[in-house]
Amino acid sequence: MWELTKQFRFEAAHTLKGTTFGEASEEIHGHSFRAEVTVRGTPDPATGMVIDLGLLQRAIEEVRLTLDHKFLNKIEALGTPTLENLSRFVWERLAHVGKLSRVSIHRDSCYESCTYYGPQT
């Protein structure tokens, strides 16, 4: 079994109400995010690949454009723009690619990350 991980970055702003950070969190503020998308499987005997990285890259680029330089609170399908919801949101938009194992969202400047494992098929 192999796991293959591809990363992408995006910049976005949000507000979060009701946290212990108080006003600092409630004001519009931005972060640099790094996402890791991991697929898991056995390489296809014909191609030698778990997944065609070109197909994965195209799907990732669509998600990145949805999030990059956006106000996350306005993305209805995301819900409250937490790390938890971001990781689930990315998973749901990449599920059609297949073989997803996990999606992690990092805010490296805050030393925070969240990993979503989603429904395993």
pLDDT of residue 27: 78
69 labeled binding residue: no
> Looking at domain 2-116, what is its CATH homologous superfamily?
6-pyruvoyl tetrahydropterin synthase/QueD (3.30.479.10)
96 is in an annotated binding site: no
CA separation, residue 88 to residues 80, 81, 119 (Å): 12, 11, 10
Residue 37 has pLDDT above 70, yes or no: yes
Domain ranges of the chain: 2-116
57-98 pLDDT per residue, tens:
999 999 999 999 999 999 999 999 999 999 999 999 999 998
Q: Is the pLDDT of residue 20 over 80?
A: no
Residue 31: how many other CB atoms lie within 10 Å = 20
29 is in an annotated binding site: yes
Q: Residue 119's pLDDT band (boundaries 50, 70, 90)?
A: confident
Kindly report the pTM of this predicted structure: 0.91
